[in-house]
Structure 1
Amino acid sequence: MATIHDVARLAGISRTTVSRVLNCHPYVAEEKKQKILNAMKQLNYVPNSSAQRLRKVKTDTIAVFVPRITNPFFSHLVEVMENEAAMYGYQLILCQTQYSKKQEVKFLELLRTKQVDGVILTSIENEWRHVQPYVNEGPIVICNEYDDEAHVPSIFLNQVEGGYLGTKHLIERGYKKIAYCAGSERRSRLTRDRRKGYELAMKETGLDINEDWYQYNAISIEDGKKVFHRIKALKNRPEAIFTGSDEVAAGLLKAARDSGWRVPEDLAIVGFDNQPLAELLGLSTVKQPIEDMARHTMQEMIRAIQGKDHKKVTNLSFTLIHRTTT
C-alpha cells in the first residue's frame, strides 16, 4: 500500500508539501499540487483519514475470486457459498481472474477501496507477498488453494493425499505404466502437491516414471483431447492416466473413444473433483467435499468480518469414486 513518502518521491516534491496539499493548505503552487494529485492517482494513494472512514463502511458484500467461471467445480463452490452467505444477510460478487496476476491485484483493490467487506480466494495467482498488504484492508479467506506464507483462514484439502489416492487406485486395478496430467505446476502449490502424491504412490510400489508421461497446462475438455493425442503419439505409451480435473478426463475419454480405443482396456482414466459430468460419463474420480469446503469458507469469512475468533486451517478429506473408466 502506498504511503505519503511514495507520493512525495514520485512527484519529486517534499513530504511537507504533499502534506499541505492533503490538508488543503492554500499556499501551494498549482503546478506542484497537480504533480502531487497525479502521483496519488498513479499510486492509488488513500490518505489515512479517508482510509479510516472507508474501514467503517459496511457493504454486506463479499468478493469471491475464481480462475474460470466455466469450470463446474468453481460454479458449484460459489453456488453453495452464495446460499450460505444469504443466511447471514450477505451477497456475493464473482471476480474471474483467468489465472492473471494483474487481474487478481486489480480485484484486490475492491477490498482496499471498501467496495466489499471481504475477499475469498479460490486460487492464488501472485506470490503471497504481493497479496499480504491487502490483509490490512479487510478479511481474506483462502478456499481450495493454499500457501504456507498466508496466515489467514484457509479451507483446503491435502493435495498430496489426493494425488496419492487417485494413483494408488490405478495401481490397485493392476496398471503399472501411469501418466500424470495437471494444470500449471509453476503457478499452483496445489498442482505441485498432487504430483508429489502421484510420485509417492509410484515409488512406494516400485513403478517407473517416464518423463514423457507428465502432461501439463491442461484445464479444459479441449485440453484433454490434446493430451490424448500426445499420449497416442508416444512410443512408450502409458496404460492409465491420473488427471487433475474431470473436464480434462472427459476430453481424454472422448478423444480415446473417437480413436477407437477401449476405456479402460486400452487406457484407464481417473478424474478429479467428482463433478456431475463425471457421474454422467462414468468417470472414476477423486471426490472433493465441495459443499463442506464452501460452507466452512463462508462461515470463517463471516466470523472474520464480525471480528470473532476463527480457525487458521480447516483440512478436509478426499474420497475415491470407482466407475467404469478404471
Structure 2
Amino acid sequence: MATIEDVARLAGLSRTTVSRVINDQPYVTEEKKEKIMDAMHQLGYVPNSSARRLRSQRTETIAVLLPRVTNPFFGHLIEAMEREASEFGYQVIVCQTHDKKQKELDYLQLLKTKQVDGVIMASLSNDWKTIEPYLESGPIVLCNEYMETDQVSMVHIDHRQAAYDATVHLIEQGCSTIAYATGSQETHITCERKLGFQQALADFHLPFDENLEIKDALDVKDGQKVFAFLQQQNKKVDGIFTGSDEVAAGIVYAAAQSGFSIPEDLSVVGFDNQMISLLMVPSITTVQQPVAEMAMKTIQVLVNKMKSSQQQHEQRFVYPYELLKRKSTERISLKESASS
C-alpha cells in the first residue's frame, strides 16, 4: 500500500509539500499540485480522511435536531438534507428530541465537544437565550422553526399565516364551531400556528374556546382520540384545524367508523401534504411546504458558515406555502352541486 513518502518520492517533492496539498493548505504552486496529484493517481494513494479531519479539527458531520423521524415531513426533510450535504462532502446524523428541552440541549453538546461541525434545528423547544451560548462552539441554522432574533439564520414558511389561511378556509366553508388539534406546546411553531388560528376566529367574530384545543396530538391514533374527545363535547363542532396530516387522517377514519360524513358533519384540515392526506377518503385539505427547497437552502447556508473564517450576516429565508383544498372541506361546492 502506497504511503505519503512514496508520493513525495515519485513527485520529486518533500513530504511536507505533499501534506499541504492533501490538506488543502496554501502556498503550493499549481505545477507542484499537478505533480503530486499525478503521483497519487499512479500509486493509487488515498489520503486517510479520518486523520485529515483530526488534523483540521473538522468532522465533516452535520447534526439535525428534529422531534421524531416517524413524522413523514421530517423524513422527507432529512432525505433532501442528506442528498445536498453529500454534495459538499458532509454526512448527516439525525437527533430525535421528542420535543424535550433537556434532550435538545444534550444533542447541542455535540457542537460544544466538536463532534459535529454544525447543527440544524428543525424543531426548537428551549427559548433562544438558552440556545444562544452554543453559537460560540459552531454555526447553527434553524429550518422549519423560527423566532424573533437576528443572531441565527432561518429557513421556513410563515406558520402563523398558514394557520390563519387554513382556519379562514374552514370559516368560509360555513364552519362556526372550530376545534384546534396541536402537537407539543413546547415548540415555537405550535405557538405561531395557534396565534394564526386565534386571529382568524377573531377577524370573523368567532370565539376561541379553550375547551376545544386538544394538545399533544401527533399521529393517526391521536387523531382517533381527538374525534372521540370532540364527540364528548356539548357543543357541536363542525370544523377542526390540525397541525398534522396524520392527526387529520385519524379524525377522518374515526368519523367514518362512527357514521359521520366528512365534510358535511365535520370539515377537517391537515398540515404538510403527506401522502396519507391524498390517499384518505375523502382526501384531506392541507398546507403544503416546499420541503426539498427548504432542506437544500438550509444545508447551503450552514456549509457556507462552516467553511467561512469570517463572521457572516445572518439571513432569513421565508418560503411560500400552498393551501391545497380537497374533499375534506368542500362543503359549499357540495351543496351547490346538489342544488343544481
TM-score relative to the length of structure 1: 0.80
Aligned counterparts of 2:174 and 2:98: Cα–Cα separation in 1: 38
Alignment of 1:291-306 (within 5 A): 291-306=292-307
1:184 to partner: Cα distance: 2.6
Structure 1 CA distance for aligned equivalents of residues 187 and 73 of structure 2: 16
Counterpart mapping for 1:129-278 below 5 A? 129-149=129-149, 151-185=151-185, 187-278=186-277
Could you list the per-position Cα deviations for residues 208-262 of structure 1 after superposition, in whole angstroms to 9, with x for gaps in the alignment? 3333221111111111111110101111021010111111111111111111111
Match of 2:318 in 1: 315
Name the SS of the counterpart of 1:93 in structure 2: strand
**Which 10-residue stretch deviates more, 157-166 or 301-310?**
301-310
**Percent of aligned positions with the same letter in both sequences?**
43
AA partner of residue 291 (structure 1): A
**Unaligned regions of 5+ residues in structure 1, if any?**
1-52
CA distance in 1, matches of 2:247, 2:207: 24
The Cα shift of 1:311 comes to 4.4
Residues 122, 142 of structure 2: 8 Å contact kept: yes
Which structure has the larger Rg over C-alpha atoms?
A: 2
Bigger mean CA deviation after superposition, 153-162 or 75-84: 153-162
The CA distance in 2 between the partners of 1:124 and 1:209, in whole Å, is 26
Instruction: Give the partner amino acid of 1:302.
Output: V
Q: Cα distance, 1:156 vs. partner?
A: 1.5
Rounded Cα–Cα distance in structure 1 between residues aligned with 2:175 and 2:105: 44
Secondary structure of the residue aligned to 2:271 is strand
The answer as to whether partners of 2:151 and 2:314 remain within 8 angstroms in 1 is no
CA distance in 1, matches of 2:202, 2:156: 26
| Secondary structure in 2 matching 1:83 | helix
How many angstroms apart in 1 are the aligned matches of 2:55 and 2:274? Answer: 39
Aligned partners of 1:241 and 1:120: how far apart in 2? 32
Q: Which range moved further: 197-206 or 149-158?
A: 149-158
Q: Cα deviations across residues 250-286 of structure 1 (Å, max 9, x unaligned)?
A: 1111111111111111111000011111111111101
Aligned alpha-carbon RMSD (Å): 1.8
Unaligned runs of 5+ in 2: 1-52, 330-340
Is 1:119 the counterpart of 2:108? The answer is no
Q: CA deviation at 1:174?
A: 1.9
Q: Which amino acid aligns with 2:328?
A: T
Cα distance, 1:310–1:81 mapped onto 2, change above 3 Å: farther
The residue identity in structure 2 corresponding to 1:287 is Q
Question: Would the aligned equivalents of 2:159 and 2:189 in 1 still touch at CA under 8 Å?
Answer: yes
Match of 2:57 in 1: 57
Local SS of the residue matching 1:207: coil
| 2:39 paired residue number | none
CA shift, 1:129, in A, is 2.1
Whether the aligned pair in 1 keeps the contact of 2:99 and 2:184 (CA below 8 Å) is: no
Higher deviation after alignment, 72-81 or 55-64: 55-64
Distance 1:264 1:55 in 2: 62
The alignment of Structure 1 onto Structure 2 pairs a total of residues equal to: 273
SS of the residue 1:272 aligns to: coil
TM-score normalised to structure 2 length: 0.77
The alpha carbon displacement at 1:55 in A equals 10
Q: Per-residue displacement from partner, 1:24-79 (whole Å, max 9, x unpaired)?
A: xxxxxxxxxxxxxxxxxxxxxxxxxxxxx989411111111111010101000010
Q: Give 3-state SS (helix, strand or coil) of 1:293's partner.
A: helix
The equivalent residue for 2:77 is 77
CA-CA distance at 1:98 after TM superposition: 1.5
Q: CA deviation at 1:199?
A: 1.6
Describe the SS at the equivalent of 2:327.
coil
Say if 1:101 and 1:210 are closer, same or farther in 2 by CA, change over 3 A.
closer
* Displacement of 1:150: 6.3
Q: Which amino acid aligns with 2:295?
A: A
Partner residue, 1:105: 105
CA offset digits 1:129-171 (Å, max 9, x no partner): 2222211111111111123246111111221101111101111
* Contact persistence 1:118–1:138 (CA under 8 A): yes
